[in-house]
Amino acid sequence: MDRNDLSQHISTQYNEELEDIRSKVMAMGGLVEEQLESAVQALVEMDADTAQRVVESDYKVNAMEVELDEECTMILARRQPAAGDLRLIIAVIKTITDLERIGDEAERVARMAESMAGRAFDKGIMAEMEHMGELVQDMLHRVLDAFARLDVQEAIAVVKKDEKVDIKYDSMLRQTITYMAEDPRMIPLALNMLWAARSLERIGDRCQNIAEYILYLVKGKDVRHTHLDQVLKEMEEERGSR
């Protein structure tokens, strides 16, 4: 499936409806990207003002999800889409759910940053947290780009990158537990940091989900719970049989 498939309908209005939901997914994704970037910045800099802005603007992401969900429901009811169009609607519905949840996780990171504002914390752990934030920000940016271009290879690259986020999270977990054991007075702050790290790890998982929806949309295959190597093997076999 590619962009040209969206221009093959007799109804111009139908084409416009499909393009509209794709455009709105990208707009919602852009807003979530901003939320995540600001939340990570607030955490790294212990900036309460930036954190508060993230918390206060989360309703915008929620409103966009509701609006898009309603549009998709109306298209399903009126157009009764099939094949690639149906996969597009399903992929959009699932993608906006994950984007909304990424927004929720970004809000949680911001709340942790707000509660830690003005406090000093271990510089080594903070540097690791910043790196983890950069990893998930890159995943989100790349998966949105893959959605816009229906780029299977980029989607696969995002799935692979989630392993790096998981490794970084495990490293953060060990470091922070050690830090708490060495200085029990820092346990409350350290726990907040762990909750923030957990939210970032979940964002990586959500990005992987979206990447899998892209594979479903383009290839028509549900690759959830399937090992990436198996997916790549099947794609190679498919190309070889043409």
In a domain, 119, yes or no: yes
| Separation between Cα atoms, residue 196 and residue 112, nearest integer Å | 6
In a domain, 158, yes or no: yes
- Give the domain extent around 79: 3-237
pLDDT of residue 15: 85
Q: How many CB atoms lie within 10 A of CB 123?
A: 8
The number of domains in the chain is 1
Helices (DSSP H) in 7-82: which residue ranges? Answer: 12-45, 48-56, 58-79
In a domain, 68, yes or no: yes
pLDDT of residue 233: 59
8 A C-beta contact, residue 169 and residue 198: yes
Here the CATH number for the domain that contains residue 211 is 1.20.58.220
Predicted TM-score (pTM) of the model is: 0.89
At residue 12, the 3 state secondary structure works out as helix
In a domain, 96, yes or no: yes
pLDDT of residue 13: 86
pLDDT of residue 221: 75
At residue 100, the 3 state secondary structure works out as helix
Read off the pLDDT of residues 32-69 as tens digits, 9 standing for 90 and up.
Answer: 999 999 999 999 999 999 999 999 999 999 999 999 99
pLDDT of residue 82: 83
Q: How many CB atoms lie within 10 A of CB 187?
A: 13
Which residue ranges of the chain lie beneath pLDDT 70?
Answer: 1-11, 222-242
Helices (DSSP H) in 150-227: which residue ranges? Answer: 152-182, 187-219
In a domain, 113, yes or no: yes
In a domain, 149, yes or no: yes
In a domain, 242, yes or no: no
pLDDT of residue 119: 83
DSSP structure string for 128-154: HHHHHHHHHHHHHHHHHHHHHHT-HHH
pLDDT of residue 6: 45
In a domain, 71, yes or no: yes
